[in-house]
A and B are shown apart, each in its own frame.
Chain A
Amino acid sequence: MVGLRPLLWPGVAALIASPGLAVLALVALLDAAPPGETERLLDRYALHVLGFTVLQATLSTILSLVFAVPLARALARRPVFPGRGIVIRLFGIPLVLPAIVAVFGVVAVWGQNGAVNAALGKAGVAGLGPIYGLEGILIAHTFFNIPLAVRLLLPAWESIPGETWRLAAQLGMTSWPIFRLIEWPRLAEVLPGIAMLVFLLTFSSFTVVLALGGGPGAATLEVAIYQALRLDFDIVRAVFLALLQVVICATVAIVLFRFARFSWSEAGAGRITMRPDSLGRPGRIGDALVIAAGIFWVGAPLAGVALSGLNGPLAEVLARQDVWLAALRSVLVGLGAGVVAVMVGLLLGATSCDLAMRRHRRRLADVLEIAGSQTLIVSPVVLGAGLFVLLLGHVRVFDWALPLAALVNGLVSVPYVLRLVSPVLRRTAAHHDRLCASLGLAGIRRIVWLEGPLVLRPLATALALATALAAGDLTAIALFGTEREATLALLLYRALGSYRMDEAAVIALLLVVVCLAIFVAIEGLGRVVARA
């Protein structure tokens, strides 16, 4: 066919750019690992870090799910109540909130001088202990993952057909049989996948643990890699821990890809079904309490960020030039990452679509798309550490801090681009290939007239998401950045680290506003251009 062969090359290029880079980073790491040192490295410290990483990830997963299931159930049982849409949207916020901002929010609410302790103090009750360490990590991780799990769980409920509820009503089923016979079997299908995803995410947690860990005892592998590389210049240890991280994540991810069954749908549209167990007063009160608790858990840190920021020394901090320069750097890193993500994602998507739809190599196409999602396995810290080791001694790494941070963040966001763009490309190929062939529409003209307009909207969304996420990221910039080239996230981390909470409050709010503005601006621009 005309004009198809060249489509293979973008994929190859993107493959080199994304998973290829990860492999290169791994090779660099392996290369830097001198043989015979494993005994020194697999010492009690390494084992402890591994143990702590597993422990906190396991606890985070269990806690997240134990609270997410009743919360999702309560939401599913109440398909219509005023403000339900807002609650669902609230639960979407942590997914895009910069982790370091969330950390600030958690400290503002649960910290020694936080809102909860202030309230307890007023009530004359003994305050909470310090949150640095496991407690703080778990609070922050559940803040992120309870809403994530809820949004992944809700479709399981919504997939229960209305007839089933009518049947249950007719049979006179009460709450417990309904859970046991109707809901649990559905949950059992999706829970393992969600559990593994949450485990993987918290296993690779960096920012939360860095900021709330409080010492060498409470470090994840990711943080230990960073500390070994940036603080201790113990490259050998960094490399060893990075390889450990990759092996474990790869194992979990392979299991996840093989067995997990869950769909990410626009959850919570709220299908109207009458459930027999939703009418009674105790159930209604119980659900209200559970939903209120969920709103508090997720909303309080967010409110903490907003209120502390507005009550903080706004004028003073916003008058600082370094703050605005940092904001500018955040935006630049974000835009750079967005462009990287979109380019790599689009190229991978185009080639994978070509393979799947026109060459009938569906498997190969899937492999290509999974390869684009490698950042679940080769985490940003590992990728960054690999690049660091690769570049060390060849270029002045710190001079390239912003581009490197943009690159790493861009690759992290490739999966979002793929998920948003790939279905559109495949659909176009399925619907219009024959028509295009008969019209002789191919190459650039086809892209301009056909794919371009269709892909523009999802592409803008992907760009907006990748840009906003990268603008708020701490991981890569902590690895590559210096004090002189700080982004907002780094400034915030440093303000938190030196306990300048007033300043941190304003920066946290500014960071949220910047990320939000980026997202809205790019998404809106995409909409306008697509309509034109």
Chain B
Amino acid sequence: MSSPGLELDGIVFRQGGWTLAADLVVRRGELLALIGASGAGKSTLLSLAAGFERPLSGRILVNGRAVTDLPPASRPITTLFQEHNLFAHLSALDNVALGLDPGLRLTAADRRTAQEALSRVELETMAHRRPGKLSGGERQRVAIARALVMKRPVLLLDEPFAALGPALRRAMLDLVSRLARESGLTVVMVSHDPADARRIADTVAFMDDGRILLTGPTDSVLDSPVLPELVRYLDPDSDPGPP
């Protein structure tokens, strides 16, 4: 079996008395949904993977290669945040092109690549608009286009569609899932809505208080939860009593 797309191996991280200790394996080309209560440490886990935070111990591997000591720019990972993914004063095209050259020194080929990426997210006509003149969904699609041109095998999504309406959110999820599978990306997606996970995720990981308590196929994890924490998370009204 080939090495996993993303592997967190014995990661320990501490911040203000709160500790995260997690192991996670995401297979190559797999789409994993990370769920868990607010404050469980989902965003922190992604930050560790992307290199925005440094773990106290443990290793991070992408396609079998250790990236633990690399700065974010050198890791084969891209991230999509809930907001502020774009630079407000740059056009959509330039925002995408930043993925090709962070100083925006662009060749004609670069421009073409960026334009093509915009086409893949169906925004070819809006290349010269600034983010202020794009809708929330369109903005996130520009950010996805940039993630595509960066050609990095791992994509991390930290609730990028949480602010969108249900229909639009479903469309965006489908888009991400399609593009990810076309490009063979390994994806970790943080979500608060189990329906999102059901829609596109192969696997679900459940986090609680800095720990990953459970990882498994989407259907089996969500349909017949046994873990009391997970039961409480999925349906806060039911109280199965102390374990």
Does A164 contact B102, Cβ atoms closer than 8 Å? no
Give per-residue flags for A166-206: 1 if the beta carbon is below 8 A from chain B beta carbons, else 0. 11111111101100011001000000000000000000000
Whose C-beta in chain A lies nearest to the C-beta of B74?
A: A172
5 A–B contacts, CB within 8 A, in A order: A169-B72, A170-B78, A170-B79, A177-B103, A182-B87
State which residues 87-107 of B face A: CB under 8 Å. Answer: 87-90, 98-99, 102-104
A170 to B158, CA, bound (A): 15
Q: Are B51 and A169 in contact (CB under 8 A)?
A: yes
Interface of A is mostly: helix
Cβ-neighbour of B71 out of A162, A167, A169 (below 8 A): A169
Chain A interface: which size bin? Answer: 20 to 34
Q: Is A282 on the interface with B (CB-CB < 8 A)?
A: no
* Chain A stretch 274-301: residues in CB contact (< 8 A) with chain B: 274, 276, 279
Residues of chain B within 8 A of A170, CB atoms compared = 50, 72-73, 75, 77-79
CB distance from A158 to the nearest CB of B (A): 14
The answer to the question of B129 belonging to the interface, with a C-beta cut-off of 8 Å to chain A, is no
Interface residue B84 (Cβ < 8 Å from any Cβ of A): yes
A-side interface residues toward B, CB under 8 Å? 161-164, 166-174, 176-177, 181-182, 185, 274, 276, 279
CB pair A171 B84 closer than 8 Å: no
Query: Is B83 at the interface (CB under 8 A from chain A)?
Result: yes
B85 within 8 A of A: yes
A166 touching B79, Cβ below 8 Å: yes
With A169-B73, A170-B73, A181-B90 in contact, do A161 and B83 touch (Cβ < 8 Å)? yes
**Which B residues lie within 8 Å of A174 (CB)?**
102-103
Further contacts, 12 of them, CB under 8 A, given A163-B82, A171-B150: A166-B47, A166-B52, A166-B79, A166-B81, A167-B81, A167-B84, A169-B52, A170-B73, A170-B77, A173-B73, A181-B104, A279-B71
| Bound CA span A168–B71, Å | 11
**How far apart are A178's CB and chain B's nearest CB, in angstroms?**
9
Q: How far is the CA of A287 from the CA of B200 in the complex (A)?
A: 47
Contacts of B98 in A (CB 8 A): 171, 181
What is the minimal beta-carbon distance from B218 to any residue of chain A, in angstroms? 28
Residues of chain A lying within 8 A (CB to CB) of residue B85? 163, 167
Q: Which residues of A contact B47 (CB under 8 A)?
A: 166
> In the complex, what distance in Å separates the CA atom of A450 from the CA atom of B53?
47
Cα of A169 to Cα of B47 in the assembled complex, Å:
12
The smallest C-beta distance from A271 to any residue of chain B, in angstroms, reads 14
A171 contact from B51, B52, B88, B102, Cβ within 8 A:
B102
Set of chain B residues within 8 Å of A177, measured between Cβ atoms: 102-104
Contact: B73 with A171, CB < 8 Å?
A: yes
Q: B50, B51, B53, B73 — which one has the most chain A CB atoms within 10 A of its CB?
A: B73
* A296 CB, nearest partner CB in chain B, Å: 33
| Chain B residues with CB below 8 A from A185, complex form | 87-89
When chains A and B are docked, how far (Å) is the Cα of A172 from the Cα of B90? Answer: 17
Closest 8 CB pairs of A and B: A172-B73, A163-B84, A169-B72, A161-B84, A173-B102, A163-B81, A177-B103, A185-B89
Contacts of A276 in B (CB 8 A): 71-73
A161-B84, A181-B90 known; A166 vs B99 contact (CB < 8 Å): no
Min CB gap A4→B, angstroms:
41
Question: Smallest Cβ distance from A525 to chain B, in angstroms?
Answer: 37
Residues of B near A173 (CB, < 8 A) are: 73, 102-103
CA distance A176 to B101 in the complex (A): 13
Task: Write the chain B residue with the least CB distance to A182.
Answer: B87
Give the contacts of B37-85 with A (CB-CB under 8 A): 47, 50-53, 71-75, 77-79, 81-85
CB-CB nearest in chain A for B78: A170
Residues of A within 8 A of B51 (CB): 169
Nearest residue (CB) in B for A177 is B103
List, in ascending order, chain A residues with CB within 8 A of B150's CB: 171
Q: Tell whether, in the assembled complex, residue A181 and residue B52 are in contact, meaning their CB atoms are under 8 Å apart.
A: no
Q: Closest CB of chain B to A55's CB: distance in Å?
A: 34
* C-alpha spacing A177/B83, complex, angstroms: 21
CA A176 to CA B75, docked complex, whole Å? 21
Q: Which residue of B lies closest to A274 (CB)?
A: B52
A438 to B82, CA, bound (A): 43
From B53, B83, B85, B99, residue with most partner A Cβ within 10 Å: B85
Question: How far is A279 from B54 in the complex, measured between Cα atoms in Å?
Answer: 13
Query: Chain B contacts of A181 at CB under 8 A?
Result: 87, 90, 98, 104
Inter-chain CA distance A171–B71, complex, in Å, is: 10
Contact with A along B4-19 (1 / 0, CB 8 A): 0000000000000000
When C-beta atoms are compared, the residue in chain B nearest to A178 turns out to be B102
Nearest CB of chain B from residue A405's CB, rounded to whole Å: 48
> Are the C-beta atoms of B83 and A163 separated by less than 8 Å?
yes
Known contacts: A161-B84, A163-B84. The answer to whether A172 contacts B102 by CB under 8 A is yes
Q: What's the minimum C-beta distance from A368 to chain B, rounded to whole angstroms?
A: 33
Cβ of B52: which chain A residues have Cβ within 8 Å of it?
Answer: 166, 169, 274
Please give me the residue from chain A that is nearest to B152 by CB atom. Answer: A170
Q: Return B42 CB to nearest CB of chain A, in Å.
A: 15
> Which residues of chain B have C-beta atoms less than 8 A from A168's C-beta?
102
Bound CA–CA A245/B90 (angstroms)? 42
Q: Tell me the bound Cα distance from A279 to B73 in angstroms.
A: 13
Cα distance A93–B34 when bound, in Å? 49
B62 to A: closest C-beta gap in Å: 14
Cβ–Cβ < 8 Å partners of A163 in chain B: 81-85
Give the distance in Å from the alpha carbon of A386 to the alpha carbon of B80 in the complex: 62
By a CB distance below 8 angstroms, the chain B residues around A274 are: 52-53
**Chain A nearest CB: distance from B105 CB in Å?**
9
- For B90, the chain A residues whose CB sits under 8 A away are 181
Contacts of A279 in B (CB 8 A): 71
Determine the distance from Cα of A166 to Cα of B102 in the docked complex, in whole angstroms.
Answer: 13
Contacts of B104 in A (CB 8 A): 177, 181
Nearest residue, chain B, Cβ from A160: B84
- Taken together as a complex, chains A and B put the C-alpha atoms of A162 and B81 apart, in Å, by 10
